[in-house]
A and B are shown apart, each in its own frame.
Chain A
Amino acid sequence: MDESAYAILKAYLNKLELAFKNTVGKDEILKDIETRIAELFQERKTNPDYVISEVDVNEIISILGQPQDFILEEDENSDHKETKSEKKLFRDPEDKYIGGVASGLGYYFGIDASWIRLLWILFALFSIGTLFPIYIILWIIIPEAKTTADQLKMKGKPINVDTIQKKIKKEFDEVSSKIKDVDYQKTTESLKKKSKSFFVFLEKILQQIPKIIAKLLGILFVFISSVGSVGIVIGTIIFIVFGSINWPFNLHFNFFNFSIFQSIYFTIALFLIFLIPFLFLFSLGMRLLNSQSSTFGTISRFVMFGLWISAILFIAIMSSQEIRNHNITATKTDIEKLSIKKTDTLFLASRLGDSVGNDQTWEYNNRSNTFNGVFGNLWEGKNKVKINLRQGDKSFSFMELKYSSNGATQEKAQKNAAKIFYNWSFTENVLDLDPLWEIAPSTPFYNQKLTINLHLQEGQVVFINKKLKPLLSSSIDNDQEFSRRQIIGHYWRMGSDKLECLDCLDNQQQLNIQYQDKSGEQKINLNVDNQGLTIKKK
């Protein structure tokens, strides 16, 4: 068989397939016809070298007849059939920039391919290239419209402005013929027809507006859901792969102490909770664009809905359990007497930690990963000590260490608090405080805290090393009303209720006497401060 003959035959068979599309027993009919064609070829093939030509094929086609010649009996419902004839998604090889995906989608949704291309470009820009694989996937999945039959299926009968217009015209004609049938006076007839037709026309136009809005909404939904789903998928992958990087919603995870499996389930549940609504939105958008398309079957819809509900329940249950773990706060208090004379200076220092004595920052990196949370180093800086200074109301100075923790019950909370380990020493009037407390590795986070209250006896002199600045409570009462930044590096004496500065410049005694004689002309101003004595006379 030569090539052109083959092409004709192929086109003919495709045409038959299309014609019998909705006929019961389509495959059988087509098979019988193919058998017959083979038989007719056999008759022609008088010798083994005979090549079947275009002429032969055309003759055979004329014997069998064109499809429109032999499916007349279905004429009555052919109208119905035409609107029902399904459109298929193909790539158009005759109108393409890359793979013809855009033109195929354009036919499918009845939109000009240029708009699809524009959308592609916008998508590509917004998604920063992540859309490229989607194009490739579509390119692979969508078949090329190779044959005329494919082309017809591809072009189908799109719901677009053109068909809307045709529909309007058809109904317009129907109405006008109805009016014609009624026997009006000839003069009024045309006038009435015109005005009535106009309103019918207007009505039809107005009726199309919701459809157009629906299309636009459809495009919007598909756009949002596509971008959303891609974002969620990529986000989840990044979250899983680079989970230890500080991620915005790690903050929420901070609250929980999950095992590795719990956190995997939690991540999956979160993923589903966000993804499934987008999938439904996508399905809805596709439905709006093409009323025949259904992205998901009934079963998968139910499965998806079920998954979504269970994911929500799962997260709710897990969260409530976690919240229960934080139900009660317990505190354990240790009192340590500091044997020091009040005239001796108590030095508060920090030589224990490996902290770097920078005024602004502490270096916790080496020792702060004591919690084993969901993802590694989320607890950075959580185990910092808080230091308070106050009047002790006793004839000696003492240190109060308050360990506190959350827990599901009082007992558990106390146990959690007891696990806090703290390192300090007091030798030769130097109270050495570690800036960080510690806890056994893999202990869950229960909002553990350590507060150190230094209760100083009245008259106790104290000096605070500047390394302790980040640990100091911001509300240490002092006669200078200094903030913690200013308190460090000075000598203080505990007064009756607050600290009194011993070496602050502003605290120097200042005497100011003004003398005025009776006439009011002579004025003497006597001032004593740290600069010495000054007398001014006017």
Chain B
Amino acid sequence: MIMKIENTTAQMRKGILEFCILSLIAGKDLYTTEILDTLKKGKMLVVEGTVYPLLTRLKNADLLQYHWKESTSGPPRKYYSITPQGEEFLSELKEVWKELNEAVQIITTQK
């Protein structure tokens, strides 16, 4: 089987994406476009479409919730906020991320 670099990077990104989205929303309530913009700025996102199924999945898992807010320009916006379960989940993810980061650091710098 031929390994494609795009596939691997996409898989890597995707794994971290949930983590990123949760920590973004944990900071403050955001609506979808804001999430997209921040992620794109951080080069975490290639195509926007990826985010929608993720958001829905996190919401269905009760890690996120949303409410509608009127906007000054255009239709009402969907604002996402984190739930207590979400916070718990996020802190666990942070823990794992730290460990992974250190482990990868150690392994990749060892020669």
Question: Which A positions have Cβ atoms within 8 angstroms of B?
Answer: 16, 20, 23-25, 28-29, 32-33, 35-36, 38-39, 42, 62-67, 69-73
Asked whether, in the complex, the Cβ of B49 is within 8 Å of the Cβ of A69, the reply is yes
Binary flags per residue of B26-60, CB closer than 8 Å to A gives 1, else 0: 00000011001000000000111110110111011
Nearest B-chain residue to A24, judged by Cβ? B60
Q: Which 6 A-B pairs have the closest CB atoms?
A: A65-B47, A70-B50, A25-B56, A65-B49, A70-B49, A64-B49
Q: Does B11 sit at the interface, judged by CB under 8 A?
A: yes
Min C-beta distance of B37 to chain A, whole Å: 11
Min C-beta distance of A24 to chain B, whole Å: 6
User: Which of A23, A39, A64, A71 sits near B74, CB closer than 8 Å?
Assistant: A39
Asked whether, in the complex, the Cβ of B49 is within 8 Å of the Cβ of A67, the reply is yes
Residues of B within 8 A of A67 (CB): 49
Asked whether, in the complex, the Cβ of B75 is within 8 Å of the Cβ of A69, the reply is no
Our count of residue pairs bridging A and B at CB distance below 8 angstroms stands at 64
CA distance A64 to B33 in the complex (A): 12
Residues of B within 8 A of A20 (CB): 53
Min C-beta distance of A71 to chain B, whole Å: 6
Min C-beta distance of A382 to chain B, whole Å: 77
User: Which of B33, B46, B74, B78 sits near A69, CB closer than 8 Å?
Assistant: B46
Min C-beta distance of A181 to chain B, whole Å: 16
Main secondary structure of the interface of B (DSSP, over half): helix
Given A36-B33, A39-B33, A72-B11, A65 and B50 contact (CB-CB distance below 8 Å): yes
Most A CB atoms within 10 A — which of B10, B49, B50, B55? Answer: B49
Binary flags per residue of B4-15, CB closer than 8 Å to A gives 1, else 0: 000100110010
- A63-B47, A70-B49 known; 8 new pairs, CB 8 Å cut-off, are A24-B56, A29-B53, A32-B55, A33-B49, A35-B32, A35-B75, A42-B74, A72-B10
Asked whether, in the complex, the Cβ of B75 is within 8 Å of the Cβ of A29, the reply is no
Given A42-B74, A65-B46, A70 and B53 contact (CB-CB distance below 8 Å): yes
Residues of A within 8 A of B36 (CB): 36
Residues of A within 8 A of B33 (CB): 36, 39
Residues of B within 8 A of A65 (CB): 46-50
User: Which of A62, A63, A72 sits near B14, CB closer than 8 Å?
Assistant: A72
Residues of A within 8 A of B7 (CB): 72
CA distance A23 to B52 in the complex (A): 12
CA distance A65 to B40 in the complex (A): 13
CA distance A25 to B53 in the complex (A): 8
Residues of A within 8 A of B55 (CB): 32
Nearest A-chain residue to B47, judged by Cβ? A65
- A sample of 20 inter-chain contacts (CB < 8 A) reads A20-B53, A24-B56, A25-B56, A25-B57, A32-B56, A36-B48, A39-B33, A65-B46, A65-B48, A65-B49, A66-B47, A69-B10, A69-B46, A69-B47, A69-B50, A70-B49, A72-B7, A72-B11, A72-B14, A73-B14
Nearest A-chain residue to B36, judged by Cβ? A36
Residues of B within 8 A of A62 (CB): 47
Residues of B within 8 A of A25 (CB): 53, 56-57, 59-60
Min C-beta distance of A41 to chain B, whole Å: 11
Min C-beta distance of A111 to chain B, whole Å: 36
Asked whether, in the complex, the Cβ of A36 is within 8 Å of the Cβ of B32, the reply is yes
Most B CB atoms within 10 A — which of A23, A42, A63, A70? Answer: A70
Asked whether, in the complex, the Cβ of A24 is within 8 Å of the Cβ of B57, the reply is yes
Nearest A-chain residue to B45, judged by Cβ? A65
CA distance A464 to B50 in the complex (A): 107
Residues of A within 8 A of B56 (CB): 23-25, 28-29, 32
CA distance A514 to B74 in the complex (A): 138
Nearest A-chain residue to B11, judged by Cβ? A72
Residues of A within 8 A of B32 (CB): 32, 35-36
User: Which of B50, B52, B60, B74 sits near A32, CB closer than 8 Å?
Assistant: B52
CA distance A71 to B52 in the complex (A): 10
CA distance A153 to B98 in the complex (A): 46
